[in-house]
Amino acid sequence: MKILSVVGARPNFMKMAPVVEEILRRGHPHLFVHTGQHYDGNMSRVFFDELGMPKPDVDLGIGSDTQARQTGRIMMAFEEVCRKERPDVILVGGDVNSTAAVALVAAKEGVALGHVESGLRSFDRTMPEEINRIVTDHLSTYLFTTEDSANANLAREGIPAEKVHLVGNCMVDTLLKHVKTAVEREPWKGLGLDPGGYALLTLHRPSNVDSAEALGAVMDSIRSVSERIPILFPVHPRTRARLGEAGIAAGPNVRLCEPLPYLAFLGLMARARFVLTDSGGIQEETTALGVPCLTLRRNTERPVTVSHGTNRLATSPEEICAGADEILAGRWRSGERVPLWDGKASGRIVDVLERSR
């Protein structure tokens, strides 16, 4: 069974690293493709080094562009790879433009497609990621889900149950493998922080950062929270550009830094008092770590992080500040381990592929 795995952006690496490792461990022929959607060293290259991933066999080198142009360029470049290599199965993860672009090519070339982290829905089609999820799922042969709500979403959309496999969360596989090392490195020390004495912020969703008005409102709330606790803010390149364009200051108790390597960020997240984010994956990681999380969005495609985990949605200044106060007062729910988030999801994925041969 010749398997071709594709990554493109930072979240893909954590999801696909354990799957690639398991494929290679079992001796299947494998080709590893990087689309180059994320090309900055801290957003891409360092993940191969820290996660022990093999260097890509093919790097398409696409880089940044508009949604349509980036997706189209990935499709054109990947079509050549697909026609040359003729894999039996193509694996993609998550919901970025690379995911949907590769799914379209796989479907038109008649190659079986496996989608890692399938079935998640925010029910908000203003999010580009939601469109990518829907397109990829409806073109997939194997739909690998992380939680029960994903199975329910796919059933509601008419996808046959025999295509859907609840396997757990590959991002948690990666986290559980590396968290001990990440914490032992004590990344907070180099930043002058103490364990439990800071909050961690990430912000990159277009709905939060692409409008000066929306970004200003979020940062007003962040400055208010920073009066209670120092906030470390690794800034996504697009977010940094928007802050500069809008002339928005972070505030004296909000420390901006460049995007962090995976292990440094994981160590900081594991020992943060709490996390503020609009990321999807960080909602899952904080739940796995038992760290309180305030998600700065009106919706989440990962409802299990709210029902079982440590996550809560908060968008208004009042909700954000009240959540921070509740956490600092020690009244936040501790959460519980989500079923199958046990570090073995990647093995279950390869099991499914082997049974289908």
Active-site annotation, residues: 204
Cβ atoms of residues 349 and 170 within 8 Å: yes
Residue 121's identity, in one-letter code, is R
3-state secondary structure the chain: CCEEEEECCHHHHHHHHHHHHHHHHCCCCEEEEECCCCCCCCCCHHHHHHCCCCCCCEECCCCCCCHHHHHHHHHHHHHHHHHHHCCCEEEEECCCHHHHHHHHHHHHHCCEEEEEEECCCCCCCCCHHHHHHHHHHHHCCEEEECCHHHHHHHHHCCCCHHHEEECCCHHHHHHHHHHHHHHHCCCCHHHCCCCCCCEEECCCCHHHHCCHHHHHHHHHHHHHHHCCCCEEEECCHHHHHHHHHHCCCCCCCEEEECCCCHHHHHHHHHCCCEEEECCCHHHHHHHHHCCCEEECCCCCCCCHHHHCCCEEECCCHHHHHHHHHHHHCCCCCCCCCCCCCCCCHHHHHHHHHHHCC
Measured between alpha carbons, how far is 348 from 332 in angstroms, rounded to an integer? 33
Q: What angle do CA 63, 250, 245 make, to 5 degrees?
A: 50
User: Which two three-digit tokens encode residue 166?
Assistant: 């609840």
CA proximity to 76, closest of 107, 95, 101: 101
